[in-house]
Chains A and B, each alone.
Chain A
Amino acid sequence: MAAVSMTVNGKAVTGDIEPRTLLVQFLRENLRLTGTHVGCDTSQCGACVVHMDGRAIKACTILALQCERAQVTTIEGLANGAELHPMQAAFREHHGLQCGFCTPGMIMTAVDIVNRKGNSLDEHTIRNELEGNLCRCTGYHNIVKAIAAGAQAMGHGLVAQAAE
């Protein structure tokens, strides 16, 4: 067993874990933050995307011990209390989710795209940037719309209401 400490969603956390514990296991099993999901074994589906020190990473492909002293943000840490993050609100407004399983990873990826590429995102950029996130329900159509709107809203601090 090994000791690990990191900051998750602004809170200092520690754990005594087997070195083979992945970050996603630490989040889900030790911290009971089950919003971060596991959908594949090959680092491709993106259901487990979280932010580490401000950048999107796949929590299934990093050991919890590698996150020592890191700042980790999960889907549970995105909203400001009861108020949804603009990207979360945009996914709801534009029907960017169906079963909801890929959604946390999609939203964390989307916020990262905005952080890197800005608030004005064209369709091709969004589709290209979703290379590492699989959705089986939506055909991506509304996810792309939601991300474009969410990106704008992150710039304005509000979500465009008109979906139609």
Chain B
Amino acid sequence: MYAFAYHRPTSVRQAANLLGKLDEAKIVAGGHTLLPTMKQRLAAPANLVDLNGVNELRGIERSGRSVTIGAMTTHAEVAESADVKAAIPALAELAEMIGDPAVRHRGTIGGSVANNDPAADYPAACLALGATIVTNKRKIAADEYFKGLFETALGDGEIVTKVSFPIPQKAAYMKFRNPASRYALVGVFVAKRAAEIRVAVTGAGQNGVFRWAAAEEALKKRFAAKSLEGLAHPAEGLNGDIHADVTYRAHLIGVMARRAVAAATDRE
């Protein structure tokens, strides 16, 4: 790790001020992407602004129509939350599938969403559920937020403060883990709301998380795994690596989507 200066603000405003004032500053939330990257000397922030002291960023709130999760809420807290389990069980299940127990005790939803790793799980939930990413400056619809590999709509000095998820009628997440890293090789989140059906795919796309329009169309006719039978995702635009070439990934998108729909419809 290269040397850096460490800052621990206690409010979002303080954090934003630090980010505005300091050179080459980076936010650390759970740190489970940033710190390993820094250890490998692949990131070299001169200043590290730690959000762990900002209590206003923690917590889960449920209203009639949505669940809102503070950015510094850990994966473990989401997975264990009675509110999340009751309102959007698929989201609690997704959180439980991230990393391992120790990672889930540190990793946060805000960190995951801000980092937008193309193999991360939360982006699929955000996109499929039509979440709103709330920052210290504005609210951003998930459709407008995820811009590509590790790229988001966040501007300089903008801090994710919470993520608000509309409560769906039915939803499920199916993850095919990378055998080594356990990130999503292919993860498919399906959600059915009154007005809309969404299928979001993570881990597979060259540009990160994306929606599978053809599957959404097919599911509009009937929200059932059968509706996706024979539907294949094209290999174009997908990632290929030693664990899964584009053909296999494309195939897995279909399998995971069908299984996710089956899980969502079986939930009653």
Q: Residue of B at shortest CB range from A52?
A: B105
CB of B83 within 8 Å of the partner chain: no
- Interface stretch, picked from A6-14, A54-62, A87-95, A144-152, is A54-62
- Interface stretch, picked from A29-37, A42-50, A153-161, is A42-50
- Interface stretch, picked from A63-71, A77-85, A96-104, A135-143, is A63-71
Inter-subunit contact B52/A131 (CB<8 Å): no
- How many A residues have CB within 8 A of the partner chain? 30
Inter-subunit contact A131/B100 (CB<8 Å): yes
Q: A41-B40, A42-B36, A63-B35 are in contact. Are A58 and B4 (CB under 8 A)?
A: no
Q: Residue of B at shortest CB range from A117?
A: B101
Inter-subunit contact A109/B6 (CB<8 Å): no
Residues on the A chain within 8 Å of B101, using CB: 56, 109, 112-113, 116, 129, 131-132
Q: A20-B2, A66-B50 are in contact. Are A132 and B102 (CB under 8 A)?
A: yes
Inter-subunit contact B182/A20 (CB<8 Å): no
CB of B254 within 8 Å of the partner chain: no
**B103 interface neighbour in A43, A52, A68, A129, Cβ under 8 Å:** A43
Residues on the B chain within 8 Å of A16, using CB: none
Inter-subunit contact A61/B105 (CB<8 Å): no
Within the complex, what minimum Cβ distance (angstroms) separates A135 from chain B?
Answer: 14
Interface string of A100-127 (1 = CB under 8 A from B): 0000000001001100100000000000
Please name 12 pairs of A and B residues whose Cβ atoms are closer than 8 Å in the assembled complex, sorted by A: A20-B4, A43-B103, A56-B101, A57-B102, A58-B103, A61-B36, A63-B6, A65-B6, A65-B50, A109-B102, A116-B101, A132-B102
Interface positions of B (Cβ within 8 A of A): 1-6, 8, 28, 31-32, 35-36, 38-40, 48, 50, 52, 76, 99-103, 105-106, 181-182
Interface positions of A (Cβ within 8 A of B): 2, 18-20, 22, 41-44, 46, 49, 52, 55-58, 61-63, 65-66, 68, 109, 112-113, 116, 129, 131-133
